Structure formats: structure tokens, C-alpha cells
Chain A
């Protein structure tokens, strides 16, 4: 497909050949593979929404979407989460917690090798985990106080000072690398045990992969796999429609309709753990009263907003965490009722005149949503000042509680409520200005038992408190949209937007 485009360009190309010759040394030509056949696996070009800047799954970028995406192709996890509370072993064949979930023992799969032929050992797992802890990156934050040991070649034991029932969910973001990963330059040309091996890598621009013939679960069918970074939405959509790119995801709703009408494309949404979350800072005097927070929530016509702005990927939420997550419990929806909202605010003595609610967000794609919500609140006389901040500023202010309202799409790592509710809503975390000892107790108990049914029950109780006290508005569950060309076979959309490609093939077109 790309071939056709390139050929018709030869005339243009000639005219500027001269000037490019000077800079020819620049980008190593991706030696475009010429096998345009349908017989074998074919060549797949993928452009996700986030660039791949770093292949090191242990360090500062460990939880970055781009790094995680690449790591899933190059390295192997111990376990893969397949749904709420469900896991499949990858490097690990089996695993078991002790009674109070402070100790997790993993038995490794026999005979798994890195692409250079050496065996994956328990010592590698230990070294990788210790590297994560030493790096103090975002992933390390999940494993405070943890230690790891390898009693024998194929057994790894993780030990936590406090009970940690959600360990499996957290460890599913952890990738095992050879011990050489600590050496400088390893990730320029890394060796892993995943389905693909790195051919070339231009950080932030493109990553070229080839199948790993020794992959334990069978060599992938693709001939080549390329990840490209295309930040501008219009360019990415065009590239998909012209066939320069075969797979993309996280398209804005307004683009999905156009893609759906293209018969060369398949568009599919899967439920994701994402929830549009609008925390209201309970430590702001004006928002201290739960009745006020609930009233504000009630004053926004989320049903029309979602129906108009997110007809494809949004659905009204009925909980703090999504149904795709362990611990989900549906709540009574908050109906749109501006009169009741106004009355409740009046009753609570809300100061319309002198209150300006500072609402921070950092992603430009939230602008329409923010505008619409601000408009509805203005209808009942509440003034909200939207503050679009640069990511770094947003994060700094977020932790400092320097906001009255905050907008994020919150996911739940490992599909376990522990990483969302358990981490964000405790008094100690102090993330929302909200503090409730009863909630703290419930969350602590839920985090320290391995009894799944009991955990689900406890998280349901926690959700009810958070929902009824309106720690935030939780208006919308987000679906993860994917689009791929019909020539792509075997592509499996995944909820977290980090798909795998080892079972994908491209038929000739």
C-alpha cells in the first residue's frame, strides 16, 4: 500500500533529490520491506496515540504508555491481566499468596529463552525487580518496602511488609529483562523473551521489530512490525485511511464516524477501565459540604453532554471504577435536576457571588467537555473558571491540592480497585482533600485479604461512601476505540490500550 504512494512520487522526489543528498546521512532509510505478499504474515504498521520514547520498562518511563506498549512486544511479564481479577501466566506458570497476602510465590515456566538463546532464570526476575526498586520510577511506587528472593532456579518470592492483595494487578506491569539491562546502552538494542526483537529504534519516532523465532508461545506470523509516532490526529486518521498505517486506537469520537463509513476499516470499541473523574476538593471551604458537591453534580446535564460529545466511546457511569475492574459495584445514578441542585445550594448557604471554582485539567481534548460542564454550572449561577495547565504544572498542582475541581480520566492499573480506590482515597494519600476514617478502615481491610468475594464486598462499601459523599463527579465510563484495516487478521483489542501483536497477520491487498 505504501509502495503505490512512493512510486507515484518519483517525479517529485527527483526535484528535491539534490538537496536531500546533502542531508542523506540523516535518517536511516527504513529499508522498506518489499514482500507485498499475502502468503506469509506481512508487514504491519501501527500508530498508537503515544510515542515510544524509551524501551526501559524499569525506570522513569516504566508506566509510560509507549514504553509499556513496546515492552509487551519485546519483553515478557510474569502474569498478564485478562479481566477483572483474572490473570494468565506468561513467564510464571503458577503463583500463590500466603494467607495474609504478604508473600507471593511464583513458579517460572520451564524452557523460556531470550532471543539470544540464554535461559530466563529466577535470578533475572530478581535483578529486574531490584532494578525497578532502585530506579524510583513510577512503577516502584507500587512496591514500597518489597523484597524479592529466588530460593531456586525456577522460584521467585516477593515479600511485602504489609498485606497486598492486589499484588498480581501491580506485577502485571512488570517486565523481566536479562541482567545485562543495567549496562549502559542495553536498551538501544535490547534482548528480551517477548514475541518480537528490535531491528531499529528511533526514540520518539519509530520502532521496527522482527518476529522472535524462539518465542516460547510460537513465532509470530508477521514479517515485520513497526510502531510509528503520529501525534496530530488528522494526520493519524489520514494515514490509517490511506493504508500507511494499519492499526490505531484512542481516536476522538468525532473521527470515529468518518472511519466507520470507510469499508476498508474495522472500528471496534472495548470497555476500558477508564472513568472520567472530576474530583471536588473537599478541603476547599466552599466545597466542604457533601450536599454542595452533590448539588453541583446534579446541576450538570451529563446525559446530553455524553450523548453529544462522546456518542461512540462514552456511557453514563454508575460507579467510581469501571465494570472492567475488580471491585466494581453499581450505584444509584445522580439525576440531572438543576432546580433541586439550586435549592440544595441555597439550603447549604452557598455563596454564589464570591465563589469561583478553579477547575484544572491538562489535556486539550477535554476542552469541549469542560466548556459544556462550565456552561451548565453557570446556568444555576455557579462560577467555574477552567484552567488548562501544562502537564508538569498540572501534576505539581494536583499533588499540592492547588485546585477546587480536577479533571482526569482515571484508569485502574491491573484492573483491581486496590490501585485506584485503595491508593487515592485514603486520608494518608490526601489526594482529594477528603478524609473519612470509616472509609480508611474499609480500604485497609480490602487491601489485606486474599478472599476475592470479601474484597469485592468491601470495595462496594467503599464505592458507596465515595459516591454518596460526592468526593468527585463520576459522569462517564470510557470505551477504548480501535480501528484497523480489514487486511489485518487476528487483531484483538484490549481494554487498556496496549494491544499485543503476536497473533496478528496481514493478508495481501
Chain B
């Protein structure tokens, strides 16, 4: 177990280095830099060149990369030109809002997904099963921004029961979290369904039934627990996708999170913020995947951690 964790951490560090390097290259490949964007449409070419020089953007890329790498090792991500403060401060300030949103969406998705999945998986091939399958496919087929705007028009404008935009209160969380949870719910439901369908036929379920346990007891006690493993894995793997979805949801609902920050930072060529945010996101993905594997090992002793890559 310890060996496994150490090995995974080492791979994690390697991945972080990969991400750090990739993001450096990628943002600098894009045309335009912070000197162009900061000075705006009224600047002259000479002014842009002067600012570029002041910022050190005219140095060879390798020099810039090495100095950046050195800073990152010391956990210094530089100052955001846009926000006029350390980039990591800005990123960490936005992080909790995104964590809150994705966490809420994950909980909604797991609860709703498990319920739907168990309903469908209990009687595979039944009408109910097929209905749930089609509904969950539909949930994955709706463009999230469209759903989000519809929610605003229905719940905020027409019914006036929920606020339309902004963060800070629980009421503000409901619409974005539900919107973000919709495709994720469908995914969890589908995973659960197949897990449950498989488990229902296994010997220990038959045994449990023959011991005289009620169907509900069998389901909650045995079937669900055994179907959880793939669900936990997927939840871990989905963090990245969820954050990607959060970009759109945060824009629609003016949710002050990391996703909208990242998009505007890329647009503004705010390299420091892009780099800080990307590294933080990568860190989350890696840690949560590791956590998912460890939870799975606890859920099912048959899984030997070492066996997984």
C-alpha cells in the first residue's frame, strides 16, 4: 500500500511537470501576448514592443522557461498583470467556489444517479430499464449552456423562486449545481445500472435472497455496495471533465469560480494566472484519482492496488 502510494505520488509529480511544461508551451504558442492585450487597440507598435521588453517577453523561450520552472519549484507562480496581485492568490480565491459547485454537482449526481441506476438495473431489459436508459441518454445530449439559460428563464424570470446569477448564497448554488450535475447524473446512473445488473445475478445475492432478506435489504446491503466501485472510479476520473463543464456553467450563471477565471485569463494572455490555475487543476485531478483508487481498495479487498497501473 505504501509502495503503491509512493509510486503514484512519483508519477503524479512527473505529471505535474508535464502539465507545467505543456501549459508554458501552449500559452506562448498562441498569437498575441499580455503586452498586446494590456495596451489594447489604441497602442502603437513601439509601445507594445517597449512593454514586451519590460516584461521580459522578448527573451528566448528557453530562458523564460527555465526561470519559470525555477519559480514554480519555489511555488512562486508570479504576478498576474491583469489583477495586479500574485496569480496563485487570485486562483486560490476562486478555487473554493468551483470546489463548492463541483462538489454539490457530484453529490447530486451520485444520489440521483444511484437511484436511477438501481431502478434500471434491478430488472435489466424491462420497460423501466429502457425508459431510464433513454432518459439518461437524453440528459447527456442536452447542451449544458442551453439548459442553464432555460433554467434562468424558468426559475428566475418566470417563477422567481431562485436567483439568476452570482455566488455567495445557497440559493445561488442550486441552478448551476443542478445544470452541471445533469450529464454527470446520467453517467453515474448508467454505470450503476450495469453494475447492479451484473451483481443481481451473482451467487451471493441469491444466497442473501435465500436467507430470507427482503429485496430492499438485498439491494442496499449487497448490490449497491458492489456496484459502487466503478462509480467511485468514474467520479475520480470525471473531475477534469467536471471542471471543463464548470467553465461554461460558471459563465452562464456568473459563478465566481476557477473556470471562468481560466477562460478570461487565456483570453487576456495572463500567463501567470493560466499557469497557476492549470497546475492547481492538475493537482486536484491527480489527488482525486489517487483517492478514488484507495477508496476502491477499501470497498473491495479483492482489488490489489499494485495491480493497477
Answer whether A and B touch in the complex at a CB cut-off of 8 Å.
yes
List of A residues within 8 angstroms of B32 by Cβ: 390-393, 395-396
| Contact yes or no, A392 B37, CB < 8 A | yes
Contacting residue for B170 out of A16, A59, A419, CB 8 A? A16
B-contacting residues, A228-258, CB 8 Å: 228-232, 234-236, 238-239, 241-242, 244
Q: How far is the CA of A398 from the CA of B83 in the complex (A)?
A: 25
| Contact yes or no, A60 B252, CB < 8 A | no
Describe B's contact surface by its main secondary structure: helix
Answer whether residue A261 sits at the interface, using C-beta atoms and an 8 A cutoff: no
Q: How close is B13's CB to chain A, nearest CB, in angstroms? A: 27
A-B contact pairs, 18 of them (CB 8 A): A5-B163, A6-B169, A23-B99, A26-B97, A54-B84, A137-B38, A203-B83, A229-B254, A235-B152, A235-B165, A238-B153, A241-B157, A242-B160, A242-B164, A393-B31, A396-B31, A396-B32, A424-B42
| Contact yes or no, A20 B41, CB < 8 A | no
List of B residues within 8 angstroms of A423 by Cβ: 42
B-contacting residues, A376-433, CB 8 Å: 390-393, 395-400, 408, 413, 419, 423-424, 429-430
| Contact yes or no, B169 A392, CB < 8 A | no
Interface membership of chain B positions 128-162, coded 1 if the CB is closer than 8 angstroms to chain A and 0 otherwise: 00000000000000000000010011001100111
Closest 7 CB pairs of A and B: A26-B96, A392-B32, A205-B256, A23-B100, A9-B171, A13-B170, A396-B32
Q: How far is the CA of A30 from the CA of B264 in the complex (A)?
A: 24
| Contact yes or no, B166 A230, CB < 8 A | yes
Interface membership of chain A positions 17-58, coded 1 if the CB is closer than 8 angstroms to chain B and 0 otherwise: 101101101110110100000000000000100010111100
Contacting residue for B171 out of A5, A19, A234, A430, CB 8 A? A5
Answer whether residue A138 sits at the interface, using C-beta atoms and an 8 A cutoff: yes
Answer whether residue A442 sits at the interface, using C-beta atoms and an 8 A cutoff: no
Size of chain B's interface in residues, with CB distance under 8 A? 67
| Contact yes or no, A235 B167, CB < 8 A | no
Q: Given A27-B96, A60-B81, A399-B48, is A235 in contact with B252 using a C-beta cutoff of 8 Å?
A: yes
| Contact yes or no, A19 B104, CB < 8 A | yes
* Additional pairs, 15, CB under 8 Å, beyond known A22-B103, A47-B165, A393-B30: A6-B163, A20-B104, A27-B96, A29-B168, A59-B84, A136-B54, A203-B85, A234-B152, A235-B156, A235-B164, A242-B156, A242-B163, A392-B269, A395-B37, A398-B41
Answer whether residue A63 sits at the interface, using C-beta atoms and an 8 A cutoff: yes
Q: How far is the CA of A205 from the CA of B257 in the complex (A)?
A: 9
Q: Given A23-B96, A141-B47, A204-B256, is A9 in contact with B161 using a C-beta cutoff of 8 Å?
A: yes
Interface membership of chain A positions 165-207, coded 1 if the CB is closer than 8 angstroms to chain B and 0 otherwise: 0000000000000000000010110000000000000111110
| Contact yes or no, A53 B83, CB < 8 A | yes
List of B residues within 8 angstroms of A8 by Cβ: 161
Interface membership of chain A positions 281-296, coded 1 if the CB is closer than 8 angstroms to chain B and 0 otherwise: 0000000000000000
Answer whether residue B90 sits at the interface, using C-beta atoms and an 8 A cutoff: yes
Answer whether residue B16 sits at the interface, using C-beta atoms and an 8 A cutoff: no
Question: Which of the four size classes fits the interface of chain A?
Answer: 35 or more
Q: Which residue of B lies closest to A236 (CB)?
A: B165
| Contact yes or no, A29 B33, CB < 8 A | no
Q: A: which residues have CB within 8 A of B? A: 2, 5-6, 8-9, 12-13, 16-17, 19-20, 22-23, 25-27, 29-30, 32, 47, 51, 53-56, 59-61, 63, 136-138, 141, 185, 187-188, 202-206, 228-232, 234-236, 238-239, 241-242, 244, 390-393, 395-400, 408, 413, 419, 423-424, 429-430
List of B residues within 8 angstroms of A63 by Cβ: 40, 42
List of A residues within 8 angstroms of B43 by Cβ: 138, 141, 399
Answer whether residue B67 sits at the interface, using C-beta atoms and an 8 A cutoff: no
Q: How far is the CA of A63 from the CA of B37 in the complex (A)?
A: 12
Q: How close is A352's CB to chain B, nearest CB, in angstroms? A: 31
Q: Which residue of A lies closest to B149 (CB)?
A: A234
List of B residues within 8 angstroms of A399 by Cβ: 36, 43-45, 48
Answer whether residue B268 sits at the interface, using C-beta atoms and an 8 A cutoff: yes
| Contact yes or no, A5 B152, CB < 8 A | no
List of A residues within 8 angstroms of B83 by Cβ: 53-54, 203-204
| Contact yes or no, B40 A187, CB < 8 A | no
| Contact yes or no, A238 B103, CB < 8 A | no
Answer whether residue B174 sits at the interface, using C-beta atoms and an 8 A cutoff: yes
Q: How far is the CA of A54 from the CA of B265 in the complex (A)?
A: 13
Answer whether residue B39 sits at the interface, using C-beta atoms and an 8 A cutoff: yes
Q: How far is the CA of A229 from the CA of B171 in the complex (A)?
A: 17
List of B residues within 8 angstroms of A202 by Cβ: 93, 256
Q: How close is A160's CB to chain B, nearest CB, in angstroms? A: 16
